């Protein structure tokens, strides 16, 4: 007596690289397991079996990794199979009998294939998600690559121009989608994975009450980050998070690189003393992906200076006037020369302080 057809039972989603179980049944005409059916199942080149588990990515151009069988074969018409798959995305699986190695091969001379072979299972689609999504690298610096920056409205203006700011604090995130073995899952991107949102949080502490403007972009400038906190009020010694929301568009082969810029809004009629803003940590989360998430501790401060250029008074009678000027910043004692301003990267006459 041979089974009528195969049936697959599986619970999805499954985390990439993590062992998981499926139940395959060889059922008779009444829907019951077929007693005495004790065949082996093979995947990808295994031999000495009459049943094959086939699989492929549901989307063209996406990586189909190797599905590894850990254990399991049929016992009395039921197979509890343990498998492992290292990639993410949607995978179709199907169980079928192998022609010429079939259970009822003895009847091959007098019974046609349709009646002799066990009916294939229906296709089942499994969604594999990242085992974890990590902020693998992070930096907190400035657009001038120093530990201080001039207060200004360049970041605020970037919200309109979509140009990378030239003056402001800079937070860099590198985010990776990983399987359980710690390898990047390259299908974690728009073309291979269902759409999702990830929230990035930067936790700031300031030495004074200030209002900041924020601008966010990824390394692929054609697919900008559009959903983020554009403004925030920071209260002295209070912990405040600024959030950016990214999605599958911002990932390339399982990796996203995000740049967050911010600066204190400058009021040209109201100078303020220096402000220190500390970045405590970066975190990441999602409401629609049930993966583990790991952030980064930073605990670094950047100094913000309210600056100006002071030019000495000169009178000239030609098209050239030689003069001297100073780069100054506001302190509790009034204006002082900024001795750390040693080159034009920190601002010049073509970039207002």
Average pLDDT over residues 246-252: 93
- The angle formed by the CA atoms of residues 152, 138 and 168, to the nearest 5 degrees, is 5
Average pLDDT over residues 307-317: 69
Contacts of 82 (CB under 8 A, 6+ apart): 19, 20, 21, 69, 70, 71, 72
Q: Where is pLDDT greater, at 311 or 200? A: 200
Note whether 227 and 245 are within 8 A (CB).
Answer: yes
Note whether 219 and 257 are within 8 A (CB).
Answer: yes
Average pLDDT over residues 205-224: 88
| Lowest-confidence region among 169-173, 224-228, 277-281, 345-349 | 345-349
User: Residue 101 — very low, low, confident or very high, per pLDDT cuts 50/70/90?
Assistant: low
3-state SS, the chain, equals: CCCCEEEEECCCCEECCCCEEEEEEEECCCCCECCCCCCCEECCCCCCCCEEEEEEECCCCCCCCCCEEEECCEECCEEEEEEECCCCEEEEEEEEECCCCCCCHHHCCCCCHHHHCCECCCCEEEEEECCEEEEEEEEEEECCCCCEEECCCHHHHHHHHCCCCCCCEEEEEEEEEECCCCCECCCCCCCCCCCCEEEEEEEEEECCCEEEEEEEEECCCCCCCCEECCEEEECECCEEEEEEEEEHHHCECCEEEEEEEEEECCCCCCCCCCEEEEEEEEEEECCCCCCEEECEEEEEEEEEECEEEEECCCCCCCCCCCCCEEEEEEECCEEEECCCCCCHHHCCCCCCC
Note whether 304 and 149 are within 8 A (CB).
Answer: yes
How many of the other CB atoms lie within 10 Å of CB of 300? 14
Residue listed under structure tokens 């005495």:
36
Q: How far is CA 119 from CA 98, 123, 178, 208, 290, in A?
A: 11, 12, 37, 72, 35
Q: Where is pLDDT greater, at 313 or 300? A: 300
Reference 152, options 272, 240, 259; nearest CA is 272
pLDDT in tens, 130-167: 999 999 999 999 999 999 999 999 999 999 999 999 99
Q: What is the pLDDT of residue 352?
A: 43
Q: What is the pLDDT of residue 129?
A: 97
Q: How far apart are alpha carbons 72 and 43 in whole angstroms? A: 12
Q: pTM of the prediction?
A: 0.87
Q: What is the pLDDT of residue 13?
A: 95
């Amino acid at each position: 007596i041979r089974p009528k057809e195969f049936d697959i039972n599986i619970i999805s989603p499954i985390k990439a690289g993590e062992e998981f179980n499926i139940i395959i049944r060889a059922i008779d005409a009444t829907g019951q397991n077929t007693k005495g059916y004790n065949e082996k199942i093979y995947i990808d080149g295994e031999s000495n079996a009459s049943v094959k588990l086939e699989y492929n990515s549901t989307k063209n151009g996406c990586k189909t990794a190797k599905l590894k069988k850990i254990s399991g074969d049929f016992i009395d018409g039921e197979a509890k199979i343990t498998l492992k798959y290292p990639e993410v995305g949607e995978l179709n699986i199907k169980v079928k009998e192998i022609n010429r190695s079939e259970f009822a091969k003895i009847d091959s001379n007098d019974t046609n294939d349709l009646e002799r072979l066990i009916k294939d299972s229906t296709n089942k689609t499994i969604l594999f998600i990242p085992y974890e999504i990590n902020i693998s690298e992070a930096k907190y610096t400035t657009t001038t690559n120093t530990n201080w920056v001039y207060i200004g409205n360049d970041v605020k203006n970037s919200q309109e121009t979509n140009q990378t700011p030239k003056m402001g604090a800079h937070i860099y995130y590198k985010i990776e989608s990983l399987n359980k073995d710690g390898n990047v899952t390259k299908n974690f991107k728009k073309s291979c994975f269902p759409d999702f949102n990830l929230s990035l949080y930067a936790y700031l502490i300031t030495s004074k009450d200030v209002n900041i403007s924020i601008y966010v972009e990824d390394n692929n400038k054609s697919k900008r980050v559009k959903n983020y906190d554009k403004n925030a009020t920071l209260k002295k010694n209070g912990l405040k998070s600024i959030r950016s929301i990214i999605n599958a568009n911002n990932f390339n082969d399982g990796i996203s690189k995000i740049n967050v810029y911010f600066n204190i809004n400058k009021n040209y009629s109201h100078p303020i003393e220096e402000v220190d803003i500390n970045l405590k940590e970066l975190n990441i989360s999602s409401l629609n992906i049930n993966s583990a998430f790991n952030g980064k501790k930073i605990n670094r401060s950047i100094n913000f200076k309210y600056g100006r250029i002071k030019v000495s008074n000169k009178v000239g009678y030609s098209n050239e006037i030689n003069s001297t000027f100073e780069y100054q910043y506001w302190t509790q004692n009034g204006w002082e020369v900024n001795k750390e301003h040693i080159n034009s990267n920190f601002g010049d006459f073509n970039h207002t302080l």
